[in-house]
Structure 1
């Protein structure tokens, strides 16, 4: 029996629901930009396709540099009024926005499925993490704002496409709760409709949100360098992040710059292989298109046979398919580990990198295959890449030193602790790392030498929620650390000025100011 699309989940179904829920933000076949408190049909709407099946979806309405500067100036006007709004009123408005998002939770998640290819379980988790996380800040914001005031200008947000709700919308609402007007740039590769709906629901409640689309070349001058901007929050790759870092350093702007790093999992004097087998499938959530994914395993050579015996059976269980393909239209959503990558271009790039690495000497230990039973008959699968595992990527390959941002694992064998540390630190700083070793003393000795912000002992680490801090090490992060009270401190001013960035010494990774936590 051929699979069919789950009832009521087509892109057309989702789009019609958007038109009904937020007609001010969606018009005919396009989304609008939001600035100056108004939804505007400006910008050149680009065509876009869904990674799920290659079909057409709404693309971003890209502004030019002149319009972007007008949007920033309008946001400053909103900021000047909002920063004097009493905290109780800000809490009420943000809470009302969260209530609206809760009401439309399933539609927000469905948009994530079509726009960025998330399986239903992960799409709903992204929405829920955003809502639940901001509710926690509403509950605790009074103590966090004690003695603090909003920044002098709005907060500018530039984020990657992979977590539109739990990263971008979460940050925007917390920044607004702290008294700032906020500007968000829609990611180039996906998520524009989900973000448009979320911002429409927030704007209705009087939260001062600006949402604009455009290329980095056109918008960066306004969103990063404009004098009206009080803080820049960036999540993305190192190349773009380096340019942003240079700009904010020159201008002395408050900043939070999260950048990629090659997160590594080390294996040294380890024997609990059943535990490792159990965790491997979880590491492939969303096809490793996460800043805290683990694409590199650094394995003690003497343990390589045991590692493979634990790793390969686990990776062979992974389910990759169409996120909405079911046997019967009323069946529950399919249980998948991941669906497509963000687009066909990324899939081709990654496939080409794998082929090149093998040509230059890497050994393919595992090559997954797409299962027709998890797809729709005849569907476009150009954005789908089944899991691949390579042993010994050559030093000339990007897979040796950079994050693949896809379902490709690389394994490096080492003989000494010095080699272990060197291989785990290949990217000069990472967000997370893990070391699996039986001996507590060995972990305590080696973990401080691993250049990652969070290091787990046999368990994966993540961004965390609420009070848990998050940051990076070395080139994976620039600026203020965030999480709990530090997220609020990053976008407010306080009395403890000591001449650092923004007039205040903030905990974080500020190499240009020699400021460390």
Structure 2
């Protein structure tokens, strides 16, 4: 009898022409004003400046040194804010047709360099190729949609008295941050952004260079949040603050805004949960859960918590375990032959080595305190180049019943780590799904849609899906949060345009989740 042996994985290498040095050389050729031979520049007052101290950054893909953000101090940030105000005063008087034409020209320029922008996202934040392209496309397609619809949205309204300040997390540099700035400028405001410290600096630098060439009033600076917050959050010149990030940083920003009366929308994380009650459509749920592992669940609308009716737990496991075992992760640019297409992966590394270490510690804590490891993947299951640094890669993990005393019980892991809670009553289901005092999204899986609708009404989440996930939405669908997951005005479609413009009614109340939000109707 011949022994059965598994086929060895093909020997992989970095696809030719897609190295970081190749990408950076293309950036220097495309926008030499923004890229030096060895570093990135900051932008304000229409000038790219060799200022600040670049961070020594490593790509989470494989430890390759990459160009980090050039960190400036608060004095330079204040100078940038004053320059942004000068931009704003000129731009707010530009007629809407001209603003629309310039935004469209900038979008067209970015579309010409779509693949380079995506390649930078792969190296800087670890997105697989398909997801990186999607991030770029969502930004450009969304800006095109707003360019078509903006006239009705701002009819009778005027720009803010000062520029919009943008502070955003690293995970969606194009489809969240650049997209927001394009809409803000379309509405008649100058926009200034702080580069996310953990990734996306080169991608944003290239995008802003292309936008500035078309005459758009955009500024881009780098620096630590604590050092620059006085300028980018509290400066009197700022007309509005747009923030996307964690609750700790968001809480500090909210506290800094209390006495300013400044417009704001602060998106913060929540533990998005999927509740499963009186349900039988397991193939449908498997499809949703598999897609949910995209980008290692490093997004604000990911679902890391599953709350399952006890009587359905065995069926849930039959569906769930094959899904989590089938998740594909590894180096997004590794191929066996240069003629091969880039691999179809669910995710690459997490954002950096520190995050991988943090997740490992949280997993160990949950298990040590009594959580049950239902599934723990292995790095050997990943798709890697022989000998590469894999320190930022985290295989998928699922933990049953993490105890209340550990971080994974209440907080979003922001990584490929699921927690599963088994419950016996609807009240327990709701309590487990509402564990984080507010979330951006939630979903209920149930064959009885009237029951699901009733449960949905008790969930502290802004959007609730019935037998389907919910997404952020960038266009006519509003987006916000409940509880501690959001503070300030809601965005999306006309809500985003209204948040960055002023109407004729001096007592206008923006729709949103404000400290006294009983005064403000929710969607």
TM-score (norm 2): 0.97
After the TM superposition, which residues 155-234 of structure 1 pair with which residues of structure 2 at under 5 Å, given as runs?
A: 155-234=164-243
Moved more, 171-180 or 269-278: 269-278
After the TM superposition, which residues 117-156 of structure 1 pair with which residues of structure 2 at under 5 Å, given as runs?
A: 117-156=126-165
Work out the CA distance in 2 between the residues paired with 1:372 and 1:359.
25
Contact 2:329/2:382 (8 A) holds in 1: no
What is residue 322 of structure 1 aligned with on the other side? 331
Q: Deviations 1:123-177 (Å, cap 9, x if unpaired)?
A: 0000000000000001111111100000000000000000000000000000000
What is residue 84 of structure 2 aligned with on the other side? 75
Q: Deviations 1:29-48 (Å, cap 9, x if unpaired)?
A: 10000011100001111110
Give the alignment's Cα RMSD to 1 decimal: 0.9
Q: Secondary structure at the match of 2:379?
A: coil
Q: Secondary structure at the match of 2:252?
A: helix
Contact 2:74/2:227 (8 A) holds in 1: yes
Contact 2:509/2:520 (8 A) holds in 1: no
Are residue 460 (structure 1) and residue 469 (structure 2) matched? yes
Among 358, 368, 372, the residue aligned to 2:367: 358
Q: Secondary structure at the match of 2:155?
A: coil
| C-alpha displacement of 1:373 | 6.6
Among 513, 516, 520, the residue aligned to 1:516: 520
| C-alpha displacement of 1:66 | 0.6
| C-alpha displacement of 1:330 | 2.3
The verdict on how the C-alpha distance between 1:438 and 1:26 changes in structure 2, with shifts beyond 3 A counting, is same
What is residue 501 of structure 1 aligned with on the other side? none
What is residue 308 of structure 2 aligned with on the other side? 299
Work out the CA distance in 2 between the residues paired with 1:373 and 1:89.
50
Among 498, 505, 508, the residue aligned to 2:509: 505
Work out the CA distance in 2 between the residues paired with 1:16 and 1:188.
22
Are residue 493 (structure 1) and residue 497 (structure 2) matched? no
Moved more, 138-147 or 376-385: 138-147
Q: Secondary structure at the match of 1:445?
A: helix
Q: Which runs of 4+ in 1 moved over 2 A?
A: 370-373, 512-516
Contact 2:453/2:466 (8 A) holds in 1: no
Moved more, 459-468 or 225-234: 459-468
Contact 2:373/2:398 (8 A) holds in 1: yes
After the TM superposition, which residues 308-457 of structure 1 pair with which residues of structure 2 at under 5 Å, given as runs?
A: 308-371=317-380, 374-457=383-466
Are residue 21 (structure 1) and residue 25 (structure 2) matched? no
TM-score (norm 1): 0.98
Work out the CA distance in 1 between the residues paired with 2:270 and 2:258.
21
Q: Deviations 1:315-340 (Å, cap 9, x if unpaired)?
A: 11110110000110121110000000
What is residue 241 of structure 1 aligned with on the other side? 250
Q: Deviations 1:157-215 (Å, cap 9, x if unpaired)?
A: 00000000000000000000000000000001000000000000000001000100000
| C-alpha displacement of 1:288 | 0.2
Gaps of 5+ in 2: 1-9
Work out the CA distance in 1 between the residues paired with 2:38 and 2:338.
26
What is residue 279 of structure 1 aligned with on the other side? 288
Work out the CA distance in 1 between the residues paired with 2:199 and 2:264.
24
Work out the CA distance in 1 between the residues paired with 2:381 and 2:436.
37
Gaps of 5+ in 1: 499-503
Are residue 40 (structure 1) and residue 44 (structure 2) matched? no
Are residue 64 (structure 1) and residue 68 (structure 2) matched? no
Count residues with an aligned counterpart: 512
| C-alpha displacement of 1:342 | 0.2
Moved more, 26-35 or 507-516: 507-516
The verdict on how the C-alpha distance between 1:402 and 1:418 changes in structure 2, with shifts beyond 3 A counting, is same
